[in-house]
Structures are given as structure tokens and as C-alpha cells.
């Protein structure tokens, strides 16, 4: 293999990947090594993303789509190149089908407000699952208040998997949309999204997929899936916060009214009448997160250097190892045991509140999430107020899991 080829061949070397994340070298209070197990809340950033953003601010920054001068054109080129990187990443047919938003939350609100208000009326039904993030519940409740639509909730079983027959039974002749997560942030469950989309389409129903937790782990092809809308958030994909993505099929986006009004999204404005810009700008009112989009593009470039099949095999092995270790500890209960999962473990320790668990682990330099994970209906389903959640990123290794297990043993001693 020539050296040029090997540079371009994606690889997976966990030690090299760990060096790509400068924050992993930080020492936590008490001189503890950082054990970062909260990538599902927000991923840490590789140096390549930090450098790309610093480079724009230091050398190539200006507002975009407006200036005739050099810097503005360069910034515009890089912003639009980032859009094409997202297009390639999702396998979308056109870059005009990629709308930059603030985050996944805004992308879902955009669809609910624009598509929802234009297309749904009283009595129409939207199917959600019991394991949605609040970002894929509340926008539909707001729409329900405005239009009188009904929300139908597809239940999950004791493992945290969608109950397929119950999902199929949710469809009626009033069903207009399925809004469903691809991966649950609270349980790690991977939903059978291709089957969900096929079934919905058989019923003449559109599908919005919340891919926030999926894209960091799973290769997505929106055309192969035939997803109508697919959303994700940049900061969980190793990019910056404040940038998210709405993919929509061109014909749907074309027919939808604007979400917000202002600059960037117009063609002409008079006080009598305004005409709107073409896609994607129609949905990007105001100055966008220019550097955020470029940073997201850099994150996608970074991911392209990694052999994702090997990364996935590593993650699944790490997940199996974690389950095995936790199974050996009395009084630890795992929530979310679906057969298809990403590297994420929600658990509770008998007699210890998840917040206390989180605090004790923090003293060991371990960063985990404790709470309801913005998915209170999931907590209700399992009859717990909260869980502690450890979630893996590309850089997670066996040391991280061993440190976690030692931390849990410490919690057990304190509360035992």
C-alpha cells in the first residue's frame, strides 16, 4: 500500500484517537485522571474541530452570502462546503435538502411549526414512541394546543424495545406523521427505523427521525431509509454546540412555509409583499452559526478518518464488557437491555440516589449523567425518578469502564 493510500484509509487505533481529544489529558480536581463517560449528553471535541474553528476566527472570518469581498466569499464557500459535507454524511440527494438549525430541538420545532401547521388539522394523529427525548415530544404538544391534533404513543417493553405489534396498531386513517427516535438517549435502544419508515409509508404516513444519538454511532443513508425528515445535533457528533441539521425531502421542504422571517431567507421585500429565498435559505433566517457549521463539517471530516466498522466493533465489545462487569455487582440494575443498543448504560444502585452516585463518581474524576435524561416518560415507564447513565464516545476504552466499576464499588461501600 502506498503511503498516500494509507493516509486516506480510515483506521481505528484507540490510543491515537484518545490523543486526538486534548481534553482527555486534563486533570480533574483531586488530581484524578478524567474518565469521560457522558458523550451522549455532549461529545468532547477532537483537535481537528477546534483547529478548524480557530482558523476561521483567526484568518477567514466574515459574514456570509452578502459581501462581495474576499473574506466574505471564503467564509461563504466554507459554510456551503460544510453543508455539502453534511449532505454526503447523510447520503442526501441535494445540498438544498440540508437546513442548518441551532440544534436538533430547533429542527423538530421547525417541522412541527412549519409542516405541522400547514398540513395537520384537528383530529389528525402523530405517532411518537414512549422513549422520545422531550425535544421530540413538546413541539408536538405545542402543535396539539394550536391545532387539536392527537398524539399516539407507541409503548416499549421491559427491555426498552419498541413493541412492534403495538406500534402497528397505532395507525388509523387519521395518522399523518410518525416522529420517532433512531436511538434512545435514555436507554441506548436502536429502533428498527427502516421497518418503521416502510410501515409508515405503507399507511401513507410521513416519518420524522430523531437521529441525535444515532449519527455518532451508526452510518445513516436518508435516501436508502427513505426518511422524510431526519434531524441531528452537532455537539453530539464531535462538532460544536449551537449547530444542528434538518434533512427534509426537497418536495416537502419546497411546499412548507418559512419558519422564521428576517434576513437571509428572502428574495425581495417591500412593505406590501415579500418573496422568499430558494432552499435551503428559506429556512435559515438571520445570520447563521457560520463557524459552528464549519466546525461541524470538520467533525464529519474527522469521522471520515476513522474506520467506523472497527469503531462499532470496539464499542459493542466495550458495552458487553460493561454489562458483564455490572452483572457481577450486587444491587446494580440496568435499564435498557434491548438486543440492539449503542454504547450507553443507564443504571441504578439500590439504596443510592442517582445524583449521589454521580457526585461520588465525580470525586473519582468520572463524568456520568444523573437525572431523567430529558426523557421523563421513559423514567415513568420503569418506575424510577432518575438513573445514572454512562455513555461511550470514540475515545472510550477498557480503562474507562474499569474506573467506572471501581467507582460503583465505592458507592456500594458508602451506601451498603
Ligand X SMILES: *Cc1c(COP(=O)(O)O)cnc(C)c1O
Q: How near is the Cβ of 221 to ligand X at its closest, in Å?
A: 19
Residue (of 60, 80, 82, 84) closest to 70 by Cα position: 60
CB of 233 to ligand X, least distance (A): 3
Please choose, out of 206-214, 289-297, 328-336, 347-355, the segment that lies near ligand X by the rule CB under 6 A: 206-214
- Does position 104 interact with ligand X (CB under 6 A)? The reply is yes
Compute the least distance from the CB of residue 3 to ligand X, in Å. Answer: 39
The region of 29-37, 77-85, 101-109, 302-310 touching ligand X under the rule CB under 6 A is: 101-109
Contact indicator for 396, 315 with CB cutoff of 8 Å: yes
Under rule CB under 6 A, how many of the chain's residues touch ligand X? 15
Q: Can you read off the three cell numbers belonging to residue 343?
A: 454504547
**DSSP single-letter state for residue 34:** P
Cell numbers for 256: 412548507
Nearer to ligand X, 299 or 408 (CB): 299
Distance CA 282, CA 293 (A): 17
Instruction: Identify residues 21-60 at the interface with ligand X (CB under 6 A).
Output: none
List the one residue from 185, 191, 205, 391 that touches ligand X (CB under 6 A): 185
**What is the spatial distance between Cα 238 and Cα 234, in angstroms, rounded to a whole number?**
7
What whole-number distance in Å separates Cα of residue 64 and Cα of residue 75? 6
Is the Cβ of residue 234 or residue 365 nearer to ligand X in the bound state? 234
When the beta carbons of 65 and 389 are compared against ligand X, the nearer one is 389
Q: How far is the CB of 386 from ligand X (least distance, A)?
A: 16
Per annotation, catalytic residue among 90, 107, 113, 374 = 374
Q: Is 210 in the site for ligand X (CB under 6 A)?
A: yes
187 in contact with ligand X (CB under 6 A) = no
Confirm or reject binding of residue 387 to ligand X (CB under 6 A): no
Mapped to the 3 state alphabet, what secondary structure does 70-124 carry?
Answer: HHHHHHHHHHHHHHHHHHHHHCCCCHHHEEEECCHHHHHHHHHHHHHHHHCCCCC
- Site for ligand X (CB under 6 A): which residue of 112, 126, 128, 135? 135
State yes or no: is 374 an active-site residue.
Answer: yes
Q: Between residue 243 and residue 302, which ones bind ligand X under the rule CB under 6 A?
A: 244
Please report the DSSP string for 211-277 in residue order.
-TTTTTTS---HHHHT-SEEEEEGGGGTS-SS-EEEEE-HHHHHHSPPSS-SSSSEEEE-SS-EEEP
**Chain-centre distance of CA 204, in angstroms?**
27
Going by C-alpha positions, the residue among 321, 346, 310, 312 that lies closest to residue 401 is 321
105, 125, 205, 322: residue in contact with ligand X (rule CB under 6 A): 105
Name 369's Cβ contacts closer than 8 Å, sequence gap at least 6.
38, 40, 41, 358, 388, 389, 391
| Site mask for ligand X (CB under 6 A), range 53-92, x = bound | ----------------------------------------
Q: Which of 192, 185, 232, 164 is nearest to 375 (CA)?
A: 185
x/- track of binding to ligand X for residues 214-233 (CB under 6 A): -------------------x
Smallest distance, Å, CB 414 to ligand X? 30
* Binding test (CB under 6 A) with ligand X, winner from 35, 213, 322, 396: 213
Question: Could you say which residues in the range 165-184 bind ligand X, by CB under 6 A?
Answer: 181
Q: Quote the DSSP letter at residue 24.
A: G
Q: Which of 65, 96, 133, 389 binds ligand X (CB under 6 A)?
A: 133
In terms of CB distance, is 113 or 277 closer to ligand X?
A: 113
Residue with Cβ nearer ligand X (105 or 346): 105
User: Which residues are CB-contacts of 243 (< 8 A; sequence separation ≥ 6)?
Assistant: 100, 101, 102, 103, 233, 234, 235, 289, 292, 293, 295, 296
Strand order in the sheet with 332-335: 332-335, 344-349, 387-391, 369-371
Q: Does 103 bind ligand X (CB under 6 A)?
A: yes
- Which are the catalytic amino acids? 374
- Give the binding site for ligand X (CB under 6 A): 103-105, 133, 135-136, 181, 185, 210, 212-213, 233, 235-236, 244
Amino acid at each position: 500500500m502506498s503511503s498516500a493510500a494509507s493516509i486516506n484509509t480510515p483506521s481505528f487505533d484507540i490510543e491515537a484517537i484518545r490523543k486526538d481529544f486534548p481534553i482527555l489529558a486534563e486533570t480533574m480536581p483531586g488530581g484524578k485522571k478524567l474518565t469521560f463517560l457522558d458523550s451522549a449528553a455532549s461529545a468532547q471535541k477532537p483537535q481537528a474541530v477546534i483547529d478548524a474553528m480557530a482558523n476561521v476566527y483567526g484568518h477567514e472570518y466574515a459574514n456570509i452570502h452578502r459581501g462581495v469581498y474576499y473574506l466574505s466569499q471564503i467564509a461563504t464557500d466554507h459554510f456551503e462546503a460544510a453543508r455539502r459535507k453534511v449532505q454526503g454524511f447523510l447520503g442526501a440527494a441535494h445540498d438544498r435538502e440540508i437546513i442548518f438549525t441551532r440544534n436538533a430541538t430547533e429542527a423538530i420545532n421547525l417541522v412541527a411549526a412549519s409542516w405541522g401547521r400547514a398540513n395537520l388539522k384537528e383530529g389528525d394523529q402523530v405517532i411518537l414512541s414512549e422513549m422520545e427525548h422531550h425535544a421530540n415530544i413538546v413541539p408536538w404538544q405545542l402543535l396539539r394546543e394550536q391545532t387539536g391534533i392527537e398524539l399516539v404513543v407507541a409503548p416499549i417493553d421491559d427491555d426498552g424495545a419498541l413493541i412492534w405489534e403495538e406500534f402497528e396498531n397505532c395507525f388509523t386513517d387519521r395518522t399523518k406523521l410518525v416522529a420517532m427516535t433512531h436511538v434512545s438517549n435514555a436507554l441506548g435502544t436502536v429502533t428498527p427505523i427502516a421497518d418503521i419508515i416502510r410501515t409508515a409509508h405503507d399507511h401513507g404516513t410521513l416519518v420524522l427521525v430523531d437521529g441525535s444519538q444515532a449519527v455518532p454511532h451508526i452510518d445513516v443513508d436518508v435516501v436508502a431509509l427513505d426518511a422524510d425528515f431526519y434531524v441531528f445535533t452537532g455537539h453530539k457528533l464531535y462538532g460544536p454546540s449551537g449547530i444542528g441539521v434538518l434533512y427534509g425531502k426537497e418536495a416537502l421542504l419546497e411546499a412548507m412555509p418559512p419558519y422564521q422571517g428576517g434576513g437571509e431567507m428572502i428574495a425581495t421585500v417591500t412593505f406590501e409583499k415579500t418573496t422568499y429565498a430558494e432552499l435551503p435559505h428559506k429556512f435559515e433566517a438571520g445570520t447563521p452559526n457560520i463557524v459552528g457549521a464549519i466546525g461541524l463539517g470538520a467533525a464529519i471530516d474527522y469521522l471520515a478518518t476513522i474506520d467506523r466498522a472497527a469503531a462499532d466493533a470496539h464499542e459493542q465489545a466495550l458495552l458487553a464488557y460493561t454489562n458483564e462487569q455490572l452483572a457481577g455487582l450486587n444491587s446494580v440494575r440496568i435499564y435498557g437491555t434491548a438486543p440492539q443498543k449503542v454504547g450507553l448504560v443507564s443504571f441504578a444502585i439500590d439504596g443510592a440516589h442517582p445524583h449521589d452516585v454521580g457526585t461520588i463518581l465525580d470525586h473519582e474524576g468520572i463524568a456520568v449523567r444523573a437525572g431523567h435524561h430529558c426523557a421523563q416518560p421513559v423514567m415513568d415507564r420503569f418506575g424510577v425518578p432518575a438513573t445514572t447513565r454512562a455513555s461511550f464516545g470514540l475515545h472510550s476504552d477498557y480503562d474507562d469502564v474499569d474506573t467506572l466499576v471501581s467507582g460503583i464499588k465505592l458507592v456500594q461501600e458508602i451506601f451498603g
